[in-house]
Amino acid sequence: MARKRRKPMADINVVPYIDVMMVLLVIFMISTPLLTQGVKVELPQANDTESLDPKPSETVIVKVDSQGQFYLTFGTGKEHSVVRDELVAKIQNKLLEKPKLSILVAGDKTVQYLYIMDVLALLSQAGIPNVGLMTKTIDNNQAN
């Protein structure tokens, strides 16, 4: 008796591969939010923004220039340069005197995002509760 020769099967069964991909997808969907980290910042909405009018004596402005240098201004006082290590200590000392102090972070237009995030992370780690970001309003005539 002669046996019939069977042709080799050219199809690939992809069902097991789909199962594996679905499991990987679920794993990545669950693990991705756990890997992200950041500093909690509440930014104002563009259409509903209002100018804050805090008392100048209860405001601290932290400025960051394009080279990453930090400058502090307490109230209506003079702006002075500070080193990264003493930035939080000076703000915390001022918070002890005036607990309702507002801290605003202003960055140069060309400053790297890294420096702004560094300031926000320092203030967050120090437990400073209210930090705002300073912006300029865009004139509609210039935007168009």
CATH code for position 131: 3.30.420.270
Across 2-143, the runs of DSSP E, i.e. the strands, are 59-64, 70-74, 80-82, 102-107, 131-133
DSSP label of 126:
T
Alpha carbon separation from 29 to 10, 17, 23 (Å, rounded) = 34, 18, 10
Radius of gyration of the CA atoms of the chain, in A: 28
* Predicted confidence (pLDDT) per residue in 22-69, tens digit: 999 999 888 887 765 544 544 444 454 555 555 555 788 888 887 888
Residue 93 lies in domain: 56-136
- Please indicate, yes or no, if residue 82 is contained in any of the structural domains: yes
- Please indicate, yes or no, if residue 80 is contained in any of the structural domains: yes
A 10 A CB-CB count for 54 gives: 12
Residue 82: which H helix or E strand, with range? strand 80-82
- Please indicate, yes or no, if residue 88 is contained in any of the structural domains: yes
Per the structure block, which two tokens stand in for 34? Answer: 């756990």
| Overall residue count recorded for the chain in this entry | 144
* Predicted confidence (pLDDT) per residue in 122-137, tens digit: 888 877 777 888 776 6
Q: Pick the residue with more confidence: 75 or 143? A: 75
**Cα–Cα distance measured from residue 70 to residue 115, given in angstroms and rounded to the nearest whole number:** 9
What is the tally of structural domains in the chain? Answer: 1
pTM: 0.56
pLDDT score at 43 = 42
Mean pLDDT, the chain, rounded, equals 76
